[in-house]
């Protein structure tokens, strides 16, 4: 197979999103099940792509319209993209199943369309090999994210969405200026071509351009000074959407940032950009953890925890070594699983008991044992207790940080983990030892999904080697830029 079917990863959600308004006449149920079927199909295609990429060891290059890059736009589905496209598709499928139950009040047809577009945007951001195309997919992702945040039509939802729109608007404008500067000095938009020519750039232009691009992506990636929108958006968005934000929208931004930063490796002042990123990432971890400590709302608390984990990944990517990038990718995979589990659990509790305040979680162990067990597994795993998956990735990130000599960063991040343990164990205490109400029935599908995810968390925790190998290959995809450039069949034009 020549792999061009991989373009279906973009085409299928797009076509299905346009079919949703037509299906609206067939009733609410039909739209919900359509969403489940489409995301399941996407997961099947993503699995095929994943298998092909990991079996052959070669990336799938999709050339739009048959034009060779850098003239045409190309999709580069290497080890990293194949892995994350699979994660995006599977998480979307779980979210679609959850949405059948969770989205009842507001019209579901608009919701289904936006959800498919969000999935499309994240897939495109991860797969694209063109810097302007990255901007377009980023805007698709963020505009559907703005709309989904405001979806509940309460005052809080509109406020959170407005904060997100203003910050995202500034960020995307700055990103576009960065793209303009790079295009103005190199005359190309293709990532592989940019990397080939990067050494010819005027260092000042390159520095400003790269800084603006990193700034623009940091809004999406929730790096410290630009992440004020995130906890509000997580809290006010519908529960299934929160799962998607935390599981892959953030990671698409973070990946794009890491990809572009590593493309520009040949710049003479590359290490100073990395040092800035290390500082910002460490601050993200600390501020996120400290803010989570004093939350009374469980969803907001998990949101802050998610932000600080993102800081940990950004730290790993900013180290500039192969060990760091591998550990970062490993943490991305683990975090996607754990946070899907946590937000699904918290969302399900909120649906059943009405609200995410801490008082709803009192005595949950007796009222909803399966959900409480799954949330406990997620919480313990996030803290990084041995025999759970996050332990391995956290250890690898700390070791990689020490290797480079950033002892202060490692110490601060470890200190923040202690804070994390405090608030998660407080939650566990409330759940299992609080006075509770009567027993509630739990749905079979939700219970199965959560138990499956919890099982995955423990399985990776006990046998980390399989996933670690995959993460190493995916990390190599980002770190080894020379290999990336060689894989893209560049036409000999330009400089």
Partner 1 sequence: MISAYYFGAISLVLIGLYAVLVKKNLLKILVGLSIMETGVNLLLISIGYVSGRSAPILSEGIGPNQAVDPIPQALVLTAIVIGVATTAMALSAAILIYEKYGTLNVEEIRRLRG
Footprint of partner 1 (CB under 8 A): 132, 135-136, 139, 143, 146-147, 150, 153-162, 165-166, 168-170, 172-173, 176-177, 179-180, 183-184, 189, 232, 235-236, 291, 294-297, 300
Q: Which of 426, 333, 412, 416 is nearest to 376 (CA)?
A: 426
Relative orientation angle of helices 108-127 and 131-149, to the nearest 10 degrees: 150
Output the smallest distance, CB 160 to partner 1, in A.
6
Q: Using alpha carbons, select from 342, 363, 358, 340 the residue that is nearest to residue 440.
A: 363
Nearest CB to partner 1, comparing residues 133 and 195: 133
CB atoms within 10 A of CB 29: 10
DSSP string across 197-257: HGGGS-HHHHHHHHHHHHHHHHHHHT-GGG-THHHHHHHHS-HHHHHHIIIIIHHHHHHHH
Taking the mean position of all CA atoms in its chain, how far away is CA 30?
Answer: 29
Q: Which is nearer to partner 1, 119 or 212 (CB)?
A: 212
233 token code pair: 């958006």
The least CB distance from residue 85 to partner 1, in Å, is 23
Q: 63 or 189, CB closer to partner 1?
A: 189
- Closest distance of CB 300 from partner 1, Å: 7
Q: How far is the CB of 70 from partner 1 (least distance, A)?
A: 11
Residue 72 Cβ vs partner 1, minimum distance, rounded to whole Å:
12
Provide, rounded to whole angstroms, the least separation between the CB of residue 214 and partner 1. Answer: 17
Spacing of C-alpha 443 from chain mean position: 27
In this structure, the number of other CB atoms found within 10 A of the CB of residue 267 comes to: 18
Minimum gap (Å) between residue 202 Cβ and partner 1 = 14
Query: Looking at beta carbons only, is 113 or 147 nearer to partner 1?
Result: 147
**Residue 11 neighbours by CB under 8 Å, 6+ apart:** none
CB of residue 209 vs partner 1: minimum separation in angstroms? 12
Task: Give the E-state strand segments of 44-188 in sequence order.
Answer: 60-63, 74-77
Can you give the three-state secondary structure of 63-98, one letter per residue? EHHHCCCCCCCEEEECHHHHHHHHHHHHHHHHHHHH
**Which lies closer to partner 1 via its Cβ, residue 129 or residue 384?**
129
Q: How far apart, in whole angstroms, are the C-alpha atoms of residue 126 and residue 477?
A: 12
Name the residue nearer to partner 1 (CB basis): 138 or 264: 138
Q: How far is the CB of 451 from partner 1 (least distance, A)?
A: 32
| Separation CA 329–CA 336 (nearest Å) | 11
Instruction: Give the nearer residue to partner 1 in terms of CB position, either 153 or 462.
Output: 153
Residue of 411, 412, 349 whose CA lies nearest to 379: 349
C-beta of 299 vs 396, nearer to partner 1: 299
Q: What is the phi/psi pair of residue 63, to 5°?
A: -105, 120
Comparing CB distances to partner 1, the nearer of 139 and 442 is: 139
Structure token pair of residue 315: 């730290």
């Amino acid at each position: 197979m020549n792999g061009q079917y991989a373009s279906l990863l973009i085409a299928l959600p797009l076509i299905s999103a346009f079919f949703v308004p037509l299906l609206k006449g067939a009733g609410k149920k039909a739209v919900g099940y359509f969403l489940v079927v489409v995301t399941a199909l996407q997961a099947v295609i993503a699995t095929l792509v994943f298998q092909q990429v990991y079996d052959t060891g070669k990336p799938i290059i999709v050339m739009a319209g048959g034009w060779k890059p850098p003239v045409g736009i190309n999709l580069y589905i290497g080890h990293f993209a194949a892995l994350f496209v699979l994660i995006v598709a599977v998480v979307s499928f779980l979210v679609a199943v959850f949405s059948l139950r969770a989205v009842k009040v507001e019209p579901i047809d608009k919701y289904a369309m936006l959800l498919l577009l969000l999935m499309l945007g994240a897939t495109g951001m991860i797969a694209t090999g063109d810097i302007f195309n990255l901007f377009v997919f980023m805007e698709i992702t963020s505009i559907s994210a703005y709309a989904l945040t405001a979806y509940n039509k309460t005052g809080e939802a509109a406020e959170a969405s407005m904060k997100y729109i203003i910050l995202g608007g500034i960020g995307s404008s700055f990103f576009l200026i960065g793209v303009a500067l790079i295009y103005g000095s190199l005359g190309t938009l293709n990532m592989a071509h940019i990397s080939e020519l990067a050494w010819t750039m005027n260092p000042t232009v390159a520095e400003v351009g790269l800084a603006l691009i990193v700034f623009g992506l940091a809004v999406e990636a929730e790096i410290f000074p630009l992440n004020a929108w995130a906890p509000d958006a997580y809290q006010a968005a519908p529960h299934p959407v929160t799962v998607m934000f935390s599981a892959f929208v953030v990671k698409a931004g973070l990946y794009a940032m890491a990809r572009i930063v590593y493309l520009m490796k040949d710049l003479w002042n590359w290490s100073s950009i990395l040092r800035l990123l290390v500082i910002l990432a460490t601050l993200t971890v600390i501020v996120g953890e400290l803010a989570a400590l004093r939350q009374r709302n469980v969803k907001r608390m998990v949101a802050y925890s998610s932000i600080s984990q993102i800081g940990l990944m950004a730290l790993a990517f900013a180290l500039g070594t192969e060990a760091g990038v591998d550990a970062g990718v490993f943490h991305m995979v683990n975090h996607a699983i754990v946070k899907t589990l946590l937000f699904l659990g918290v969302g399900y509790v909120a649906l059943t008991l009405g609200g995410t305040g801490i008082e709803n979680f009192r005595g949950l162990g007796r009222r909803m044992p399966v959900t409480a067990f799954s949330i406990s597994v997620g919480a313990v795993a996030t803290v990084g207790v041995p025999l759970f998956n996050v332990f391995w990735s956290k250890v690898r990130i700390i070791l990689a940080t020490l290797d480079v000599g950033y002892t202060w960063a490692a110490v601060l991040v470890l200190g923040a983990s202690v804070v994390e343990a405090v608030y998660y164990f407080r939650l566990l205490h409330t759940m299992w030892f609080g006075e509770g109400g009567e027993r509630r029935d739990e749905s079979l599908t939700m219970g199965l999904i959560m138990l499956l995810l919890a099982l995955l968390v423990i399985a990776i925790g006990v046998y980390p080697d399989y996933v670690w190998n995959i993460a190493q290959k995916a990390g190599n995809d980002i770190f080894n830029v020379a290999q990336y450039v060689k894989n893209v069949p560049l036409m000999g034009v330009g400089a």
